[in-house]
């Protein structure tokens, strides 16, 4: 069991919020919402810190939009300030969970990603097909509406096995309970 005594304090630290801001703005520095947030960066981070510490933080409603790449997907986008909070949370709790993830899970993981997933697939494809001398078949699938339908109660029970701090559970519940507004982007 990981020592989780001061994890919430680490999430709320100004230094962690600064790091979270840098991660949230990556490849988005010219977006209007990033520029607006950075006009009062110190105050915005201090406000987020206070909201977290005093449990007054409430995420802004998600915004929906459609992406076609090539399949059509509905995306629910968090407000930039909420993405800063998401990164602040992940900065601290991700290392605790990382050790329990299966090796061949590549989405949203440090040092993994699409290119490494394709490389790993090629490795197994060559192995199964005896260096491409035998035919092999692949099943590509996706869990439709996974994030909209995942059972939050079960998810929280899994998280609580590793994270005992109720303040962190409060924050995660707050994020999970966020809802969407209108369509369009």
Residue 54 lies in a domain: yes
Q: Given a cut of 70, is residue 181 above it in pLDDT?
A: no
- Which residue segment(s) compose the domain that 58 sits in? 7-181
Query: How far is it, in rounded angstroms, from Cα 12 to Cα 54?
Result: 10
Residue 57 lies in a domain: yes
CA dihedral 2, 25, 52, 149 (to 10 degrees): -70
Q: Which two three-digit tokens encode residue 147? A: 């994030």
Residue 76 placed within a domain: yes
Average pLDDT over residues 124-139: 86
- Average pLDDT of the residues in 171-177: 94
Strand 180-181 and strand 72-77: pairing?
unpaired
In a domain, 88, yes or no: yes
- Comparing C-alpha atoms, which of 165, 19, 29, 166 is closest to residue 84? 19
Q: How many domains does the chain have?
A: 1
Q: Who wins on pLDDT, 164 or 4? A: 164
Residue 2 forms part of a structural domain: no
Number of H helices, E strands in the chain: 9, 3
Nearest partner of 84 among 171, 25, 163, judged by Cα: 25
Q: Is 73 within a domain?
A: yes
């Amino acid at each position: 069991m990981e020592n989780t005594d001061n994890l919430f304090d680490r999430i709320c630290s100004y230094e962690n919020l600064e790091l979270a801001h840098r991660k949230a703005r990556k490849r988005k520095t010219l977006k209007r919402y990033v520029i607006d947030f950075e006009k009062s960066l110190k105050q915005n981070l201090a406000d987020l810190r206070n909201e977290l510490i005093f449990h007054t933080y409430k995420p802004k409603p998600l915004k929906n939009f459609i992406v076609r790449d090539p399949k059509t997907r509905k995306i629910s986008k968090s407000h930039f300030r909420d993405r800063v909070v998401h990164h602040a949370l992940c900065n601290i709790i991700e290392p605790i969970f990382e050790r329990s993830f299966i090796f061949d899970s590549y989405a949203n993981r440090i040092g993994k990603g699409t290119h490494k997933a394709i490389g790993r697939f090629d490795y197994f494809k060559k192995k199964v097909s005896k260096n491409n001398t035998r035919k092999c078949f692949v099943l590509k699938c996706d869990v439709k509406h996974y994030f909209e339908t995942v059972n939050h109660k079960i998810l929280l029970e899994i998280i609580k096995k590793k994270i005992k701090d109720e303040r962190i559970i409060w924050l995660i519940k707050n994020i999970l309970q966020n809802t969407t507004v209108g369509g369009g982007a």
